[in-house]
Amino acid sequence: MSRHLTRSRHGGLPVLVVAGYDRPLRELFLHVIREGSDAAPRDAAEAFIYDSLDEPQKDWTDINTLTETLAHLDIKVPPSVIEQIYLDQTFNVGNRYVEHPADETGDVETCGPD
Question: pLDDT per residue over 49-107, tens digit each?
Answer: 999 999 999 999 999 999 999 999 999 999 999 999 999 999 999 999 999 998 755 54
Please tell me the pTM assigned to this model.
0.85
The angle formed by the CA atoms of residues 78, 15 and 107, to the nearest 5 degrees, is 25
CB 3 within 8 A of CB 16: no
Give me the pLDDT at residue 52, please.
Answer: 97
Give me the pLDDT at residue 46, please.
Answer: 77
- Residue 109 in this model has a pLDDT that exceeds 50: no
Of the pLDDT bands very low, low, confident and very high (cuts 50, 70, 90), residue 45 is low
Map out the domains of the chain as residue ranges.
2-104
CA distances (Å), 10 to each of 6, 13, 50, 74, in order? 13, 5, 11, 7
